[in-house]
Amino acid sequence: MPDPGEERLFFGRRKGRPLRAGMQRRIDEDLAVRLAPVETSAANATDPKAWFPQRPRAVWLEIGFGGGEHLAWQARHNPEVGLVGCEPFVNGVASLLRHLDDVEGDRVRIHPDDARDVLDVLMPESLERIFVLHADPWPKRRHHYRRIVQHETIARFYELLQPGGILRMATDDPGYLVWILSRITAHPTFRWAGSSMADFTERRDDWPETRYEAKARREGRMPVYMEFRKPA
């Protein structure tokens, strides 16, 4: 775990256009009951199953959930799973809260800030799946250090996944794709879960489209889908 006195830099947007009254009300009234208790968990490595009133069978983590479409879909279709989503962009958080209206049970926790705060406090082998979908590619070379996918985060993902656990990533940026693959293949144990080129170009049945993916397609950029597994 990091030195609690160490200052951590955050890069990226926290706010976009002003929220409409209804969306602001969701932030003001609905977010508090869904917050991941990261600060109270920071003293010790934490089992995220304890963050839910009824312990789920497994916990999945999504880093940068954008508008929340994917996370909410997974929550609706996996009622035995608890989901933790990280997203510092307040407009995206409000969007997810709206999508959760038709999700039964109290099975989603939100950290509206830097995902590394969550990565730092979780105990090893406490996650069954991790999703990093269409993260900001920070295309300028001088900004590459800002990318969420780094050698150290790949190592941390591996540590947090259970044996047999899955890491899913997607991008429509060719440069970021090369960056991701060079870092995941540098890890000595992560294994690609696919078997053909179609596994890069076609989404799985349980991998719903996000608004960012749809936007990329409209603009002529083809998303690439990657799934890696920690050996059982």
Can you give the C-alpha Rg of the chain in angstroms? 17
Give the C-alpha separation, 1 to 107, whole Å: 26
Please spell the DSSP secondary structure of the chain, one letter per residue.
Answer: ---TT------S-S--SPPPHHHHHIIIIISGGGB--HHHHTTS-B-GGGGSSS--SEEEEEES-TTSHHHHHHHHH-TTEEEEEE---HHHHHHHHHHGGG--SS-EEEE-S-THHHHHHBPTT-EEEEEEES-----SGGGGGG-S--HHHHHHHHHHEEEEEEEEEEES-HHHHHHHHHHHHHSSS-EE---STHHHHS--TT-PPPHHHHHHHHTTPPPEEEEEE---
Q: How far is CA 113 from CA 72, 118, 164, 183, 199, in A?
A: 18, 9, 28, 24, 32
Q: Is 173 a catalytic residue?
A: no
Of the listed 136, 172, 199, 206, which one is catalytic?
Answer: 136
Bridge-based pairing of strands 191-192 and 224-229 is antiparallel
Catalytic residues: 136
